[in-house]
Amino acid sequence: MCGIVGIVSSEPANQLVYDSLLLLQHRGQDSTGIATADGSMFHSHKAKGQVREAFRTRDMRALPGTMGLGHVRYATKGEASNEQESQPFYVNAPYGIMLVHNGNLTNTRELTSELFHIDRRHLNTTSDTELLVNVLAHELQEQITGSEELNPDQVFAAVSRLHQRVEGSYAAIAMIAGKGLLAFRDPFGIRPLVLGRRVSGLVGTEWVVASESLVLESGGYEIVRDVAPGEAIFISLDGEMVSQQCAANPRLVPCSFEYVYLARPDSIMNGISVYEARLRLGNRLADTIAKHTPLGDIDVVMPIPDSSRPAAMQVAQKLGVEYREGFYKNRYVGRTFIMPGQAQRKKSVKQKLNAMGSEFRGKNILIVDDSIVRGTTSKEIVEMARQAGANKVTFTSAAPPVRYPHVYGINMPSRLELVAHGRKIPEINRELGSDNLIYQEVADMQAAILEGSGVTELEMSCFTGEYVTGTVSEEYLRWVEQNQLS
């Protein structure tokens, strides 16, 4: 998924970007990068690891300028540990462009070949973001004729061409040296991007574009709106903002997994509060549980910290069963699911969660998680609950079974690693070792997330196998499986 932010300010951008990235840490832990622009000069620093470990005071001092970009990476393409693939990505012509990207492109093979054979561009990594910045640069170059100043219409024309060439998901922010900040979202708005502003009497309007609205709230910015699917926004160095729809048939189909797991609950995305969506997921899950389980069979409802807490609270309240926190979470261990490599993820669950015996002994426990993907967490949790003395363990998931690869910015590319792929629920139950397993229905998840929002469609491919963009064929999925992230 990755977290991205772009800022046009009147004060040094480095600290503003750093503070924003700390707030987006839950979106990526592999690497961190910040770039600033001081006039037409770029400065950047990127390093492996989380924000606090990747940046030292001396790195921050080397980032002057009032326009800036930042990125926390959760790799989906290329290599998670390769510093060269951390973002922002830079190309030196036209003008000089620095770009950050959240999402995943699905026509990377076609783009790689076109960029090399037709556009004559050099690619130095296997990152899809390097493709995106090169397509943008090529298309911008095509728009510039003669020696006139770059104008926003040329930028918008380049983004329109980019939409025609690129498939998959992309929320992106780019700095164009000496010109301004460009932000754009793919024609389905799969990944989030929100625009904010801060008006100061002394310096005029300052702008921020970020993956999640909590960055705006925390920095004292007013939330202007979400960047629309297919739209591009250009902010000049002196704070003038212009925007244009650049896609032929834009359609808002946001990723359901943001609401289920990825986003912070205190964010509002596409007008939908993530926290409230999770409460509604809990309500609907409770109805399904009530249909399948005699309520006298459950002594306590328990969340798996952190992401399932809002849903679990609602399950307990609606079923009228006591809510207890039986798993203690080590706050110094990051999110397990977005770590690279199964060995690291497996080890992390044990380091992160510990069962408190008194909450389990002799009890029938109903555990709520937001989702079950590889089953790494749930298998360990069921075992921990049993070792702690639970009598009966019912496992429930606020999302439906994840049966298909996610190709739009979440690293679950292979069907074989998904515990629910090709398995019926009783088989998954056996695999997890639980006594009973209950999942949310797909229609309930969709209704819970969209309720009252005016948004009518949701990207749910990992639950349904239906992909909204082109090039996602059986052949493509097989290719992705064979070329998994290293």
Ligand X SMILES: NC(=O)CC[C@H](N)C(=O)O
- State residue 311 phi and psi, 5-degree precision: -65, -45
Q: 475-479 — which CB contacts under 8 Å span 24+ positions? A: 476/106, 476/407, 477/405, 477/407, 477/415, 479/109
Q: Which residue is nearest to ligand X (CB)?
A: 2
Phi, psi for residue 286 in degrees, rounded to 5: -60, -40
What 3-state DSSP class applies to 181?
Answer: strand
> Of all residues in this chain, which one has the CB nearest to Mg ion in the complex?
307
Is the CB of 83 or the CB of 238 nearer to ligand X? 83
Give whichever of 439 and 467 is closer to ligand X, judged by the CB atom.
Answer: 467
Annotated catalytic residue, options 2, 246, 255, 462: 2
Query: What is the Cα Rg of the chain in Å?
Result: 23
Q: How far is the CB of 8 from ligand X (least distance, A)?
A: 23
Of 71 and 345, nearer to Mg ion (C-beta) is 345
> Is 370 labeled as ligand-binding?
yes
Confirm or reject binding of residue 274 to ligand PRP (CB under 6 A).
Answer: no
Q: Does 55 bind ligand PRP (CB under 6 A)?
A: no
371, interface contact from ligand X, ligand PRP, Mg ion, none, CB < 5-8 Å by kind: ligand PRP
Residues making contact with ligand X (CB under 6 A): 1-2, 73-78, 101-104, 127-129, 409
Q: Least separation, in Å, of the C-beta of 37 and ligand X?
A: 22
Residue 306 binds ligand PRP, judged by CB under 6 A: yes
255 is catalytic: no
* Residue tagged 């702008």 (tokens): 207
Which lies closer to ligand X via its Cβ, residue 2 or residue 449? 2
Q: Which does 409 bind (CB under 5 to 8 A by kind): ligand PRP, ligand X, Mg ion, none?
A: ligand X
Name the minimum Å distance from CB 10 to Mg ion.
40
| AA letter at 23 | L
d(CA 176, CA 93) in angstroms, rounded, equals 10
Choose the one of ligand PRP, Mg ion, ligand X, none that binds residue 78, judging by a C-beta under 5 to 8 angstroms depending on kind. Answer: ligand X
For Mg ion, give the closer residue by CB, 66 or 307: 307
Beta carbons within 8 Å of 203's beta carbon, 6+ residues apart: 10
The residues facing 394 across adjacent strands are 366, 436
Residue linked to tokens 């009032």: 66
Name the binder of 1 from Mg ion, ligand X, ligand PRP, none, CB < 5-8 A by kind.
ligand X
Q: Give which of ligand PRP, Mg ion, ligand X, none residue 372 binds (C-beta under 5 to 8 Å, depending on kind).
A: ligand PRP
Span 364-423, contacts to ligand PRP by CB under 6 A: 369-378
Q: Which does 365 bind (CB under 5 to 8 A by kind): ligand PRP, ligand X, Mg ion, none?
A: none
Residue 297, marked binder:
no
Q: CA angle, 182 as apex, 177 and 183 as ends, to 5°?
A: 150
Look up residue 348 and give its two tokens: 């992390």
Who contacts 151 (Cβ-Cβ below 8 Å, separation ≥6)?
none
How near is the Cβ of 417 to ligand PRP at its closest, in Å?
Answer: 8
Look at residue 397 and give the partner it binds from ligand X, ligand PRP, Mg ion, none, a contact being a CB closer than 5 to 8 Å depending on partner kind. none
307 annotated as a binding-site residue: yes
Residues near Mg ion (CB under 5 A): 307
What phi, psi does 314 have (nearest 5°)? -70, -40
What's the rounded Cα separation, in Å, for the pair 31 and 480?
23
Nearer to ligand PRP (CB atom), residue 100 or residue 312: 312
Compare residues 60 and 279 and give the one whose CB is closer to Mg ion.
Answer: 279
Paired tokens of 126: 């296997």
In angstroms, rounded to a whole number, what is the distance separating the alpha carbons of residues 4 and 62?
A: 20
Count CB-CB contacts under 10 A for residue 27.
26
The HSE-up count of residue 354 (CA atoms within 13 Å, CB side) is: 6
C-alpha distances in angstroms, 156 versus 98, 103, 137? 17, 20, 13
Here's the x/- map for ligand PRP, 316-345, by CB under 6 A: it reads as -------------------xxxx-------
Specify the amino acid at residue 82: N
Number of residues that bind ligand PRP (CB under 6 A): 19
Tally of CB atoms within 10 A around 184: 32
Q: Which of these segments, 107-115, 144-152, 157-165, 299-307, binds ligand PRP (CB under 6 A)?
A: 299-307
**CB of 169 within 8 A of CB of 191?**
yes
Contacts with ligand PRP, residue ranges (CB under 6 A): 261, 304-307, 335-338, 369-378
Active site (catalytic) residues: 2
Binding residues for Mg(2+): 307, 369-370
